[in-house]
Amino acid sequence: MIPAAPYVYHPFIDPLPWAWAHWAWTLLPLCAAVALVYKSIKCSTMSRVPREAAVIFVWIIVGMVLAAGALAGLVKVMQ
């Protein structure tokens, strides 16, 4: 029997190993980036961006959690 070769991770070639199991957490930086770019475009002065981006980041997360809960409930009802 040939022993299995040890797994060697190559960044930017192989998928990130931990992202496979914890993919939901990878949505947080994406939401933060969307909030930051959106508010950077919308705000007239950049000094307002950090606070407004933080607020809309929280709203995005709350909206996603509520949508996930609603969809999970819908699936449960339909089963």
Partner 1 sequence: MDSSPVLRNPPLVALAGWLVPGLGYWFLGQRGRAITIGVTILIVFVLGLLIGGIKVVDAPDGFANIAQKPWFIGQILAGPVSVVSAVLADRTKVMSHAHSWEIGTLYTAVAGMLNLLAIIDSAHRASQESGA
Token readout for 27 is: 């949505």
4 versus 78: smaller Cβ distance to partner 1:
4
Question: What does the DSSP assignment read for 22-61?
Answer: -GGGGHHHHHHHHHHHHHHHH-SSGGGHHHHHHHHHHHHH
Contact 36, 53 (CB under 8 A): yes
8 versus 78: smaller Cβ distance to partner 1:
8
> Judged by CB under 8 A, does residue 6 bind partner 1?
no
> Judged by CB under 8 A, does residue 5 bind partner 1?
no
Binding mask 27-56 vs partner 1 (x if CB under 8 A, - otherwise)?
x-xx--xx-xxx-xx----x--x-------
